[in-house]
Amino acid sequence: MNKRILITGGAGFIGSHLCDRLIKEGNEVICLDNFFTGSRQNIIHLIGNPNFELVRHDVTMPYFAEVDEIYNLACPASPIHYQFNAIKTIKTSVMGAINVLGLAKRTKAKILQASTSEVYGDPDVHPQTESYWGNVNPIGVRSCYDEGKRCAESLFMNYHAQNGVKIKIVRIFNTYGPRMHPNDGRVVSNFIVQALQNQNITIYGDGQQTRSFQYVDDLVEGFIRMMASGDDFIGPVNIGNPGEYTILQLAQEIIRLTNSKSELVYMPLPQDDPIQRQPNINLAKEKLNWEPRIPLEEGLKKTIAYFETIVK
């Protein structure tokens, strides 16, 4: 049966891919966004589709609609954007969660929270399992995002316990792909844009810090499986690609794939930048029969092809 599905942050990078997938499967999609970091360009191809509705709205304000499912993605995700107005970032995570959970409570919709590996902070457990509580600096520059997302998880758990709301919490690890914002400062988009323009590639610190990069289609598949899973499985569940690379290796791979003449330059490491990050995905494998399918090289090629159409 086709459903009516609300996606907050639907005009963003990940949200727009989720809109595509859910529309393709014959659902009705309400894409709600305030266009802070998202854009109409990301979903322009869906405008005019009778199953697609675009709503300009801020999740810090209540929203009313009758829906079957909610994916709550509204929140700037890159450090540059979430630190631009830190208080607003906290409001978006916390008041946004309260508003969408209230909507889920009234409509009895199932609701999925786009949480983050940032809840683990700079982890001293490696790789990170869902049972790890994290090592977050509550007063650092990343705290508006990390603590906002941690509070949102708490709100989800408590709406479930107190009000019986059907919740799903997904902890997303670094995700990349077409429609990433070219100027959002994230490592994959930065390096690809720099490589395509033969500009210096900016390595923060010594480049030995690691990340695990997941292609966006794998994440969307994880979302869909999580939403479809039984009501007794609420998460949190890690969704990410365990392939771990140093930032230096990523830079070298992008230079190779773009045939770039760029050179590496070293810059200071930002405050509270995690040294290592890699998901343990055993829970997702066991409960959702999910694992990532797209290797880094294949995903980077698709992402480079996208950026070639918008830069140069």
Subset of 138-197 contacting ligand NAD (CB under 6 A): 172, 174-175, 181
Q: Which of 82, 120, 145, 176 is catalytic?
A: 145
Peptide bond connecting 178 to the previous residue in cis, omega within 30 degrees of 0: no
**Is residue 204 flagged as an active site residue?**
no
Within a 10 A sphere around the Cβ of 229, how many other Cβ atoms? 18
Residue 234 contacts residue 169 (beta carbons within 8 Å): yes
Which part of the chain contacts ligand UDP (CB under 6 A), choosing from 46-54, 265-273, 280-288, 304-312?
Answer: 265-273
60 binds ligand NAD (CB under 6 A): yes
136 binds ligand UDP (CB under 6 A): no
For the chain, the C-alpha Rg in angstroms (whole number) is: 19
Shortest distance (Å) from residue 193 CB to ligand UDP? 10
279 binds ligand NAD (CB under 6 A): no
37 binds ligand NAD (CB under 6 A): yes
Q: Of the candidates 99, 96, 102, which has an alpha carbon nearest to the alpha carbon of residue 115?
A: 96
**Which residue(s) pair with 244 in the sheet?**
212
Shortest distance (Å) from residue 64 CB to ligand NAD? 15
**Integer Cα distance of 287 and 294 in angstroms:** 20
**Integer Cα distance of 174 and 213 in angstroms:** 5
Shortest distance (Å) from residue 174 CB to ligand NAD? 5
| SS3 state at 205 | coil
Subset of 198-237 contacting ligand UDP (CB under 6 A): 202-204, 209, 211
Backbone angles phi, psi at 148, to 5 degrees: -60, -45
Query: Binding mask 75-94 vs ligand UDP (x if CB under 6 A, - otherwise)?
Result: ---xx---------------
**Integer Cα distance of 113 and 19 in angstroms:** 16
Binding site for ligand NAD (CB under 6 A): 8-9, 11-15, 33-38, 58-60, 73-77, 92, 96, 114, 116, 172, 174-175, 181
Q: Which residues are catalytic?
A: 145
